[in-house]
């Protein structure tokens, strides 16, 4: 066999391999990926320029762009909120060692690769008496590729019991204590561990 057919065959195999490696996203998924990337760009701008961000408030921290996994539509889920019949008040701790009281309000569920997972929703009260809700977790990437304390997701309570919440791990973010020791943030409990490598959302800020 001459070298030309061999070279053509090699190039063909490489092309086939590369085409099989890429994700074939739908138009809707591509639009979603673009929206998350725009959200990240805006957050970078805000972190860099907002006088109240951890890079400009209190102790000055040198800014560089936040680190993220590539956007993955497979890490977006829907769930109803399942309220606990008895809402226990528990104690969690902040990264500076302070005890904090919070209420186990309910939980969300999601299924990934035919396995079910659960995430607790916590209800807390601000200094001015206003209630707010938190969703935080650790997973198999914690302290490896992602922040060692854990990551958070925004959660806003909807009064409709049939409302479907979106669990979007591409929007998982680090609390302020990931950037500066001036801040203290709630440490997820052992119960908040998800036995899964959630390769989506924000990675470690510091190397």
Instruction: Give strand pairing partners of 123.
Output: 103, 133
How confident is the model at residue 12, as a pLDDT? 40
Task: Give the C-alpha distances (Å, rounded to integers) separating 205 from 13, 56, 59, 63, 93.
Answer: 39, 16, 16, 10, 22
* Domain ranges, residue 124: 69-192
Tell me which residue of 141, 161, 158, 140 sits closest to 204, measured CA to CA.
141
Strands 82-83 and 99-112: antiparallel
186 with 98: CB under 8 angstroms?
no
How far is Cα 106 from Cα 84, in angstroms, rounded to an integer? 5
CB 204 within 8 A of CB 110: no
Chain centroid, CA 113 distance in Å: 18
Residue 57 pLDDT: 84
Q: Is 149 within the bounds of a domain?
A: yes
Report how many domains make up the chain.
1
User: Is the residue at 175 inside a domain?
Assistant: yes
Please indicate whether residue 200 or residue 16 has the higher confidence score (pLDDT).
200
Q: What is the pTM of this model?
A: 0.86
Q: What is the pLDDT of residues 59-78, one digit of tens each?
A: 778 899 999 999 999 999 99
Indicate if the pLDDT at residue 206 is higher than 60: yes
Taking the C-alpha atoms of residue 87 and residue 189, their distance in angstroms, rounded to an integer, is 16
Q: Does residue 145 lie in a domain region?
A: yes
Question: At 23, is the pLDDT very low, low, confident or very high (cuts 50, 70, 90)?
Answer: low
**Stretch among 7-16, 45-54, 136-145 having the lowest mean pLDDT:** 7-16
Tokens 């391999």 correspond to 17
Can you give the pLDDT at residue 59? Answer: 74
What are the start-end ranges of the E strands in 32-181? Answer: 76-79, 82-83, 89-93, 99-112, 115-125, 131-137, 151-153, 165-168
| 73-102 confidence digits (pLDDT tens) | 999 999 999 999 999 999 999 999 999 999
CB 105 within 8 A of CB 122: yes
- Indicate if the pLDDT at residue 8 is higher than 70: no
């Amino acid at each position: 066999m001459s070298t030309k057919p061999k070279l053509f065959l090699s190039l063909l195999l490489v092309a086939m391999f590369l085409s099989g490696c890429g994700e074939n996203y739908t138009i809707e998924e591509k639009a979603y990926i673009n929206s998350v990337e725009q959200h990240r760009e805006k957050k970078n701008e805000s972190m860099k320029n907002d006088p109240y961000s951890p890079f400009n408030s209190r102790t000055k921290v040198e800014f560089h762009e936040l680190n993220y996994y590539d956007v993955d539509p497979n890490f977006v889920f829907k769930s109803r909120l399942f309220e606990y019949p008895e809402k226990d008040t528990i104690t969690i701790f902040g990264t500076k060692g302070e005890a904090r009281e919070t209420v186990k309000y309910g939980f969300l569920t999601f299924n990934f690769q035919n396995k079910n997972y659960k995430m607790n929703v916590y209800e807390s009260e601000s200094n001015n008496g206003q209630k707010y809700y938190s969703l935080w977790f650790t997973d198999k990437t914690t302290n490896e590729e992602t922040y060692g304390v854990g990551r958070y997701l925004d959660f806003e309570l909807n009064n409709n019991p049939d409302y479907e919440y979106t669990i979007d791990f591409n929007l998982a973010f680090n609390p302020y204590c990931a950037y500066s020791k001036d801040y203290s943030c709630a440490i997820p409990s052992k119960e908040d561990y998800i036995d899964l490598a959630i390769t989506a959302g924000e990675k470690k800020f510091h190397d």
